[in-house]
Amino acid sequence: MKRNLILAIESSCDETAAAVVEDGCKICSNIVSSQINVHKKYGGVVPEVASRIHVENISVVIEEALAQAEVTMDDILAIAVTQGPGLVGSLHVGVQAAKTLAWYYDKPLIPLHHIIGHIYANRFVDELRFPMIALVVSGGHTELVWMKDEWSFEILGTTQDDAIGEAYDKVSRVMGTGYPGGPVIDKMAKQGHPHYTLPKPKTEKPLDFSFSGLKSAVLQLIDRENKKGEELNKEDLSYAFQEAALDTLLKKTMQAVKEFKPKQVVLAGGVAANSRLREKISEMIQETPEVHLTIPPLWCCTDNAAMIGAAGWTAYTHGLNGSLDIAANPSMEI
Residue pair 110/321 in contact by the 8 Å Cβ criterion = yes
Residue 60 annotated in ligand binding: no
Residue 125 annotated in ligand binding: no
Residue 139 annotated in ligand binding: yes
Among 303, 322, 328, 332, binds ligand KG4 (CB under 6 A): 303
State how far the Cα of 81 lies from the Cα of 316, in Å rounded to an integer: 12
Beta strand 78-84 with 109-113 is parallel
Close Cβ partners of 129 (under 8 Å, ≥ 6 residues apart): 263, 264, 292
Question: Quick check: 43 binds ligand KG4 (CB under 6 A)?
Answer: no
Of 136 and 265, CB closest to Zn ion: 136
Counting every residue written for the chain, the total comes to: 334
Sign of the Cα torsion 315, 319, 324, 325 reads negative
Question: Quick check: 269 binds ligand KG4 (CB under 6 A)?
Answer: yes
Total number of residues that touch ligand KG4 (CB under 6 A)? 19
Question: Quick check: 271 binds ligand KG4 (CB under 6 A)?
Answer: yes
As a whole number of Å, the CA-based R_g of the chain is 20
Residue pair 120/83 in contact by the 8 Å Cβ criterion = no
- The closest alpha carbon to 256, from 277, 287, 296, 213, belongs to 287
Close Cβ partners of 176 (under 8 Å, ≥ 6 residues apart): none
Taking the complex as a whole, how short is the minimal distance between the CB of residue 71 and ligand KG4, in angstroms? 27
Among 302, 307, 313, 314, binds ligand KG4 (CB under 6 A): 302
Alpha helices in the chain, H assignment, sequence order = 36-40, 47-69, 88-105, 114-120, 164-175, 181-190, 212-228, 234-260, 275-284, 306-317
Partner from ligand KG4, Zn ion, none contacting 213, C-beta within 5 to 8 A by type: none
Partner from Zn ion, ligand KG4, none contacting 296, C-beta within 5 to 8 A by type: none
Assign 127 to helix, strand or coil: coil
Residue pair 139/116 in contact by the 8 Å Cβ criterion = no
Among 120, 124, 146, 168, binds ligand KG4 (CB under 6 A): 168
Residue 114 annotated in ligand binding: yes
Q: Which range in 136-144, 213-221, 233-241, 284-292 contacts ligand KG4 by CB under 6 A?
A: 136-144
For binding to Zn ion (CB under 5 A), which residues are involved? Answer: 138, 303
Partner from Zn ion, ligand KG4, none contacting 168, C-beta within 5 to 8 A by type: ligand KG4
Among 181, 262, 309, 322, binds ligand KG4 (CB under 6 A): 181
DSSP state of 327: -
Question: Quick check: 10 binds ligand KG4 (CB under 6 A)?
Answer: no
Residue pair 307/27 in contact by the 8 Å Cβ criterion = no
Among 108, 111, 157, 180, binds ligand KG4 (CB under 6 A): 180
Taking the complex as a whole, how short is the minimal distance between the CB of residue 67 and Zn ion, in angstroms? 25
Question: Quick check: 183 binds ligand KG4 (CB under 6 A)?
Answer: yes
Among 83, 122, 138, 238, binds ligand KG4 (CB under 6 A): 138
Q: Which range in 29-37, 98-106, 142-150, 162-170 contacts ligand KG4 by CB under 6 A?
A: 162-170
Residue 182 annotated in ligand binding: yes
Assign 9 to helix, strand or coil: strand
State how far the Cα of 190 lies from the Cα of 185, in Å rounded to an integer: 9
Among 24, 84, 111, 270, binds ligand KG4 (CB under 6 A): 270
Return the bridge partners of 17, or none. Answer: 10, 32
Return the bridge partners of 147, or none. Answer: 132
Q: In what order do the strands lie in the sheet with 5-10?
A: 26-34, 15-22, 5-10, 78-84, 109-113
Binding site residues for Fe cation, as ranges? Answer: 114, 118, 303
Binding site residues, as ranges? Answer: 114, 118, 136-140, 169, 182, 186, 274, 303
Residues at the site binding ligand KG4, with contacts judged by CB under 6 A: 13, 138-140, 165, 168-169, 180-183, 186, 269-271, 273-274, 302-303
